[in-house]
Structure 1
Amino acid sequence: MTNIDHTPLTEQVRTRETPDAAIAMIDAIGTVVGWTQAAEQLVGYSAREVVGRPGAQVLASAEDGVRASVHGEQCRARGGWSGPMAVRHRDGHVLKMTLRVSLLRGQDADTRWLVSVTDIGTLSSGTARGPLRESLLAHTPIGIVVRDPQLRCTWVNDAMELYDGVPRDRRFGSRLKDSLPGFEAEALEVVMQQVLESGTTMVHEYRAWPPTAERREHVFSASFFCLQDAEGEPMGVCSISVDVTGNRRARERLAILSEASTRIGSTLDVMQTGQELADLTVPLLADHALVDLVESVPFALEPSARIGTGNGRPPALRRAGLASVELGVLELPWVREELIHVHPASPFADVLRTGRSHLVPVLDMEAHLGPWVHHDPARAQKVRDSGVHSLMVVPIRARRCVLGLALFGRSREQAPFQEDDLLLAEELVTRAALSLDNALRYARERSAALTLQRDLLPHRVRGGVAVEVASRYVPADMAHGVGGDWFDVIELSGARVALVVGDVVGHGIKAAATMGRLRTAVRTLADLDLPPDELLAHLDDTVRRLNDEDDDVSDEVPEVVGATCLYAVYDPVTRRCTIARAGHPPPLIVDPTGRVTIPDLPAGTPLGLGLGLVPFEAVEVQLPEGSLLALYSDGLVESRDHDLDVGMNRLGAALTHPGSSLQDLCSQVIETLPTQAQPDDVTLLLARTRALEPTQIASWELPNEPAAVSTARHLATHQLRQWGLEHLVSPVEQIISELVTNAIHHGDGPSRLRLIQHQVLTCEVFDTNTGHPRPRQPRTLDENGRGLYLVARLSRRWGSRSATDGKVVWAEQDLLPKAVAR
């Protein structure tokens, strides 16, 4: 006779909704005769829609219906079946399910089937309890009893007799307290009554002493489900009982799975993940653990062969993890990170090829490990010396590729590995495989983003005669990904140069691509010779248009593109630098004496994040020749560990080394970065200013009268001969004639002619008219309109820019005559 403990009912019962596990009853011909609320929550069909209809109606496809028919035959032959099955939800999407079909017997030799359904997707994303509980239900005998609303037994399976020793014939038509006289069944019947009234699923765990020879306490866990008829009314209650006496180990395994979620995959380093898997499983699961990855995996490359397609020699492995309860036991010829060649005839090669686990409960070296032991005597002897008597080899799989192997052995623990140990090992390895696959995917994405970033950044920066430049770019660490930092040096007209540093919000390929678009936009706007504040205003419009485009093409909530930027223009003629910024850190200026200053520069709004209502402001500073400008991104000076001022002071100190080259200064700055991983990209652009000699510049004021055209030609000719540029006299005279004529024609005040000899010869004409010249196509009889075409034809390039109280029209000539092709 079975006894139950007297733990209060409130301590024994745990009630919860379980939409991830559902129960249905099917008759001998496949018609649904009982349904549960949990089943409705899982697949969307109510009892009214399902009861009385074939169960195959919720299968995903006709092919699954055929499979169900085949499995039905297996059920009849074996008395049950368990395995995966695709089920179509009422709204149309397909669920991946695990089904267990159990045979129930009733009076007069009638049979029915009880179907336990679990959503694999829910289990994989839920707690560790779900997968282990389902694994136990799928591989452990369970006792099933179905009772009517009066709690009388109507259906039962064969396994229930093993639990309480009551033959099924004696059970039919009886309540629990009738079939087991003296059994304190009140608590269980209270639970069943609550299930009938509420329709919810309840779990009741109790201790009892079944009538077995060992007469020891057993722990049972009973789950109760309310079965509904076609009207949705309770037609009975189904109890599923599992002997969980050995579940102390299972609870330990639940703790292992819970711990695995925090200890495996803590980084995106595949070798570290392998070691974390080995460390976790010893000694909780095994006495010894080895984790070997396919050689290409540590280099962020997937194995070339898919599961079942490999032929010839198996791939080489690289040891990633090693753990043992006894130091020195597993000091094999291959230590961590060394290469291992797998013998083609070994079970390890079979696991690599098939992707299926290999369990050896009792290890016999010759019988189970095959001829490879003779070809690898050193390793075989190590296995013998270790005392390993039970072995599991589990493939590390991801997207139909085997990424490596995990080997588990027992030597101290005398109990051999069993199927449930293998299930746990496979679950742990699966979690490690997900982390490895994430690391591989991230490494590939990061590599693509880094390649894109480097391709979009300037490969070589040149400051012309205005500045000497040097730069550094350091991408963020693996955990944060490549960002959208960029820098640029753009040569402008009149020997000037533009210095740019920007930072797009976010990381990854999208940030890198956005960076490339913004860098292109800055170069395009720089060609228009816009002042820094106006250029940032146009760039802000560009970023806001990008955000509008994302709104139009995405149905999801769009990700707002934001960026910061600093744009500076330095003129070596006047030694003035005009700077404006949009939410970017200010530059540092180090004068020739080593004094560090930060210009008082309005911060401005980050690009794309404002409404364009607040204008950007530019500040002009006078720089002595040899001054050092430091432009950088916030990743260089910001840190969670200290204030911004600390980073700025560190940067300033690293730059005050008189006599150091710019390349050396860049290296010294980067060396001051914290040794820990960088959460953001680091960009640094250094520029040391130069000044043009007075002999390289010639300037003349011209009156607003026609005679000034001839005077300008004469002055320019004389200056060119002084510079030894006689070969440029003819084209420059024509260019000056057109530009001065236009200045006199369109301006209402004096103009000014300036010649600058640097890498090229620049001719500039200043006038008081603010309208910029635009080439137009003259008609046949027009007498005007051809001047700018002539200027463009005679120049290497030309353009115009705004100036104080007017504009400047300029044209450039190469200093050396072009070679004439023969």
Structure 2
Amino acid sequence: MRWSARLTGAPWRVAPPQDDPVPALPGQRDPLGPTGLVGPEQLLDLHELYDLCDVLGRLPAPVVITYGARHRLGYANDAYRELFGSRHAGLPADEALPELTELGLPSLLDQVLRSGRGRSVKARSITDPSGRQRCFNVSCVPLHSNERTGTRDGQPPAVGVLVFAAEVTDQVHAAARLREAERRQREAAVTLQRSLLPQELDQPAELQVAATYQPGGADAAVGGDWYDVISLRGGRTALVIGDVMGRGLRAAAVMGQLRTAVRAYARLDLPPHQVMSLLDAIAVEIDANQIATCLYAVYDPPPAAGLGYAHTGTLTYASAGHLPLMLRGPDGTVLQGEQQNGPPLGTGGGTHTSHTLRLLPGTTGVLYTDGLVERRDQDIDLGLDRLAHTLGGAMGSPKEVCARLLRAMGVTAEHDDDVAVLAFRLPGPADENPLDTEVDSDLGQV
């Protein structure tokens, strides 16, 4: 026996013949027509279906309609009156709607009325009658006349403006809290960064040194730039500049560990390329996903007395993917250091090479990070050329050289990247022989 789900009193369903089309089930009734399409014969006035003021009155957002050149009040919905109190229709906006002036909207209403195009503003704040500060995104939409005279581009002239305000107080406060949290985090990173940099540089008798660090602007996260000056045995001095890739507290923490490692390895009196190899290994252990560039140089002063090359000191350096050092000779000639670099620290391999230069008294040298010369809208070679040109005319002490380079390269408090600069100068007359940049055959390259 086969059971059926037929309700009591309902007729049995009979399957239609196979040759008859299956009738379509009627859809939900469409007030605009049985087919849902509006044709010339079916066009209805929407006012017969909906009361526009009733629709606007039900909106939870404040809505007001003005008309005429003085933006007289034509309509204000319930949400508007609940927020700002009752308003008298027919009065100009400057009398009936003082809150629009507080929101800075009168000029915007004029623009909308003249152009016939909508305008909007974001996060305008206003104090409601209860004293609470509230924020709104406001849209002003033109209301056009039904007359066809005086049309502009086929559009009837605007005779009024509908003002719609969407409250965004919570979003604005959330954004402010986020900015404040980011500001505190950045201040913490800057504080950590500065605390990890040397508070006072060693000042060897044979070398004048100065350094500066400029964090990026408020929109730039703190990076991992660092510098150091280390006094070694025999009157020698190690000069270090480095840059950890990345931003924030993590980059600053890695920078601090690398700086500590450099100071420890420098005491071993190893050649610069071996120091770079040791730093590469320790960088991998610190964070395998973090790499850094570094330039490590050792200045060896000349003997107290002698002739010829005895009056020159030597600078031996190695680079791990860092920008070349720049030297300015006593005659103003600028030389870039050897471009052949080893791989950055943290890559876990590769060969680093030491290079040696002889420097005459009066020579000035500069070590720096990429924030000094790199710009998003130009090739870095242009920045290097500009730095070389600036250094060629930079006179004075290392501290004055640092300040001049920052000004000339356009580094300000709002710069988009960290900048570290370390300058040094060999004491001596400024009018001696030109800088000798040849590598002595006895010293060679390692």
TM range (shorter): 0.5 to 0.7
2:394 is equivalent to residue 664 of structure 1? no
Q: State the Cα deviation string for residues 399-444 of structure 1 (Å, max 9, x = none).
A: xxx996448999x999998xxx56x22xx33333333222211111
CA distance 1:359–1:245, change in 2 (3 Å): closer
2:193 is equivalent to residue 360 of structure 1? no
Paired residue for 1:238?
A: none
CA distance 1:360–1:686, change in 2 (3 Å): same
1:502 Cα offset (Å): 0.2
Paired residue for 1:474?
A: 214
2:327 is equivalent to residue 589 of structure 1? yes
Q: State the Cα deviation string for residues 323-369 of structure 1 (Å, max 9, x = none).
A: xx99xxxxxxxxxxxxxxxxxxxxxxxxxxxxxxx8124259xxxxx
Paired residue for 2:115?
A: none
Check whether the contact 2:64–2:162 (CA below 8 A) recurs between aligned residues. no
1:657 Cα offset (Å): 3.5
Structure with the larger RCO, 1 or 2 (CA within 8 Å, 6+ apart): 2
Name the amino acid aligned to 1:664: E
Aligned mate of 1:535, from 270, 275, 278? 275
Q: State the Cα deviation string for residues 453-512 of structure 1 (Å, max 9, x = none).
A: 111111121231231011111111222211110000000111100000000011111111
SS at match of 1:528: coil
Q: State the Cα deviation string for residues 52-111 of structure 1 (Å, max 9, x = none).
A: xxxxxxxxxxxxxxxxxxxxxxxxxxxxxxxxxxxxxxxxxxxxxxxxxxxxxxxxxxxx
1:649 Cα offset (Å): 2.2
TM-score normalized by the length of structure 1: 0.36
Q: State the Cα deviation string for residues 608-643 of structure 1 (Å, max 9, x = none).
A: 1x231x211010111112211100001111112322
Name the amino acid aligned to 1:616: H
Instruction: Give the 5 Å matches for 1:256-295.
Output: none
Paired residue for 2:351?
A: 615
Separation (CA, whole Å) in 1 of partners of 2:240 and 2:416: 22
Paired residue for 1:488?
A: 228
Paired residue for 1:381?
A: none
Instruction: Give the 5 Å matches for 1:748-787.
Output: none
Check whether the contact 2:124–2:137 (CA below 8 A) recurs between aligned residues. no
Separation (CA, whole Å) in 1 of partners of 2:374 and 2:265: 30
1:683 Cα offset (Å): 0.9
Paired residue for 1:518?
A: 258
Check whether the contact 2:227–2:422 (CA below 8 A) recurs between aligned residues. yes
SS at match of 1:482: coil
Name the amino acid aligned to 2:402: C
Aligned mate of 1:649, from 359, 382, 385? 385
1:591 Cα offset (Å): 1.0
CA distance 1:646–1:175, change in 2 (3 Å): closer
Q: Any gaps of 5 or more consecutive residues in structure 2?
A: 1-12, 14-24, 71-81, 104-122, 126-130, 143-159, 304-312, 429-442
Identity %: 32
Name the amino acid aligned to 1:681: D
Check whether the contact 1:578–1:618 (CA below 8 A) recurs between aligned residues. yes
Check whether the contact 2:87–2:96 (CA below 8 A) recurs between aligned residues. no
2:103 is equivalent to residue 388 of structure 1? no
Check whether the contact 1:389–1:409 (CA below 8 A) recurs between aligned residues. no
Check whether the contact 2:325–2:365 (CA below 8 A) recurs between aligned residues. yes
Q: State the Cα deviation string for residues 289-309 of structure 1 (Å, max 9, x = none).
A: xxxxxxxxxxxxxxxxxxxxx
Name the amino acid aligned to 1:362: S
Separation (CA, whole Å) in 1 of partners of 2:275 and 2:174: 47
Check whether the contact 2:325–2:366 (CA below 8 A) recurs between aligned residues. yes
Paired residue for 2:290?
A: 561
Separation (CA, whole Å) in 1 of partners of 2:322 and 2:65: 55
SS at match of 1:432: helix
Name the amino acid aligned to 2:383: G
CA distance 1:484–1:359, change in 2 (3 Å): same
Separation (CA, whole Å) in 2 of partners of 1:546 and 1:449: 19
Paired residue for 1:453?
A: 193
RMSD: 4.5
Instruction: Give the 5 Å matches for 1:497-508.
Output: 497-508=237-248
Aligned mate of 1:686, from 420, 423, 427? 423
Check whether the contact 2:273–2:352 (CA below 8 A) recurs between aligned residues. yes
Which one has the bigger helix percentage?
1
Looking at CA atoms only, which structure, 1 or 2, has the larger radius of gyration? 1
Separation (CA, whole Å) in 1 of partners of 2:99 and 2:395: 69
Paired residue for 1:260?
A: none
CA distance 1:176–1:570, change in 2 (3 Å): closer
TM-score normalized by the length of structure 2: 0.63
Check whether the contact 2:297–2:317 (CA below 8 A) recurs between aligned residues. yes
CA distance 1:208–1:541, change in 2 (3 Å): farther
Q: Any gaps of 5 or more consecutive residues in structure 1?
A: 1-149, 151-173, 189-205, 220-242, 254-280, 288-324, 327-357, 365-383, 397-401, 549-559, 692-803, 805-822
2:377 is equivalent to residue 637 of structure 1? no
Q: State the Cα deviation string for residues 275-328 of structure 1 (Å, max 9, x = none).
A: xxxxxx9xx9999xxxxxxxxxxxxxxxxxxxxxxxxxxxxxxxxxxxxx99xx
Q: State the Cα deviation string for residues 154-181 of structure 1 (Å, max 9, x = none).
A: xxxxxxxxxxxxxxxxxxxx9667x89x
Instruction: Give the 5 Å matches for 1:408-419.
Output: none
Separation (CA, whole Å) in 2 of partners of 1:592 and 1:407: 64
CA distance 1:360–1:655, change in 2 (3 Å): same
Separation (CA, whole Å) in 1 of partners of 2:319 and 2:251: 20
